[in-house]
Amino acid sequence: MFSSQDSMDNITLFSIITVMSFFLLAPVAVFMEGVKFTPAYLQSAVSNLMVKIYTIVVTIATVKIYNCVEFASINAHFLTGIKC
């Protein structure tokens, strides 16, 4: 029936599941948390901007290091080399 099309690989399937879960859960998050645009909230968000930037940078670095270590251990198991 669908013999002319290629099957979906794992990365594409994971990407589709991620996007679908975002669209399904974004309205739930807005409903539960609400949208805050009061002046006090906006001022506190701006005053904590450097803390948020630092948190984002540290998170990116730790996720990158974790991925490199994980892929290194997987590649060491299959003896293919490290690609970070």
Indicate whether this model's pTM tops 0.85: no
Q: What is the domain range of residue 72?
A: 49-84
Give long-range contacts, CB 8 A cutoff, 24+ apart: 23-30.
Answer: none
pLDDT tens digits, 51-65: 889 999 999 999 988
pLDDT tens digits, 4-50: 566 777 778 888 888 999 999 999 988 988 877 788 877 777 777 88
Is the domain of 62 the same as that of 84? yes
Q: How many domains does the structure of the chain reveal?
A: 2
Structure confidence at residue 59 (pLDDT): 93
Question: Is 64 a domain residue?
Answer: yes
Higher-confidence residue of 1 and 29: namely 29
Structure confidence at residue 62 (pLDDT): 93
| Secondary structure (3-state) at 30 | helix
Question: Is 2 a domain residue?
Answer: no
Question: Is 43 a domain residue?
Answer: no
Question: Is 44 a domain residue?
Answer: no
